[in-house]
Chains A and B, each alone.
Chain A
Amino acid sequence: MVAEVATVVIAGLVAFPLYWMVLSALKPAAEVQSANPRPWTFSPTFENFDRVLNSAGFARYFLNSTIVAVVVVGLSLLLSFLSAVALTRFRFRGRTVLLVMLLVAQMVPVEALTIPLFFLMRSIGDVAPAFGLNELGSLVLVHLAFQLPLAIWMLRGFVAAVPIELEEASKLDGASRFRFTWQILFPLVLPGLVAVSVLAFIHAWNDFLFAKTFIISKSENQTLPQAILVYFKPEENDWGAIMAGSTLMTIPVLIFFVLVQRRLVSGLSGAVKG
Chain B
Amino acid sequence: MATRQTTAAVPPPVRTPRRRRDGRAAALYLAPAAVLLLGMLAYPLYQLVLISFYDYGRAEAAGTAPLVFLGFDNYVELLETIKFWVVLAKTIGFAAVCVVGSLLVGTTLAVLASRVRAVPRMLLFLAALGAWATPAMAGSYVWLFLFDADFGLVNEVLAGLGWQSMADHSWTYGTYSAFGLVAMEVIWCSFPFVMVTMYAGIKGISEEILESAALDGASWTRIATSVMLPMLRPLLLIATIQSIIWDFKVFTQIYVMTNGGGVAGRNLVLNVYAYQEAFAGSQYGLGAAIGVVMTLILLSITALYVRSQRQSVEL
Footprint of B on A, CB under 8 Å? 3-4, 6-8, 10-12, 14-15, 17-18, 20-21, 24, 32-37, 39, 79-80, 82-83, 85-87, 90-93, 95-96, 98-100, 103-120, 141-142, 144-146, 148-149, 152, 164-165, 168, 177, 202, 205-206, 208-209, 213, 224-225, 228, 239, 242-243, 246-247, 249-250, 253-254, 256-258, 261, 265, 268-269, 272, 274
Contact call B142/A117, Cβ cutoff below 8 A: no
Contact call B44/A117, Cβ cutoff below 8 A: yes
Footprint of A on B, CB under 8 Å? 1-3, 7, 19, 22-23, 25-27, 29-30, 32-33, 36-37, 39-41, 43-45, 47-48, 50-51, 61, 109, 112-113, 115-117, 120-121, 123-139, 141-143, 145-146, 148, 150-153, 156, 188, 193, 196-197, 200-201, 204, 235, 238, 245, 248-249, 251-252, 255-256, 271, 274-275, 278-279, 284, 287-288, 290-292, 294-295, 298-299, 301-302, 305-306, 309, 312-313, 315
- Closest chain A residue to B288, Cβ basis: A115
Q: Quick one: which of B3, B137, B200, B291 contacts A228, CB cutoff 8 A? A: B137
A7-B112 contact given A83-B29, A103-B302, A272-B238, CB 8 Å threshold: yes
Contact call B284/A115, Cβ cutoff below 8 A: yes
Contact call A246/B109, Cβ cutoff below 8 A: no
Q: Quick one: which of A36, A116, A208, A247 contacts B47, CB cutoff 8 A? A: A116
Contact call A79/B313, Cβ cutoff below 8 A: no
Contact call B137/A206, Cβ cutoff below 8 A: yes
Contact call B37/A148, Cβ cutoff below 8 A: yes
Q: How distant is the Cα of A272 from the Cα of B203 in the complex, in angstroms?
A: 14
Contact call B37/A10, Cβ cutoff below 8 A: no
With a cutoff of 8 Å between Cβ atoms, the chain B residues found around residue A111 in the complex are 249, 251, 271, 275
Contact call A243/B133, Cβ cutoff below 8 A: no
Q: Quick one: which of B2, B26, B235, B299 contacts A104, CB cutoff 8 A? A: B299
Q: How many A-B residue pairs have CB under 8 A?
A: 292
State how many angstroms separate the Cβ of B295 from the closest Cβ of chain A.
Answer: 5
With a cutoff of 8 Å between Cβ atoms, the chain B residues found around residue A34 in the complex are 151
Most interface-central of B121, B126, B138, B196 (chain A CB within 10 A): B138
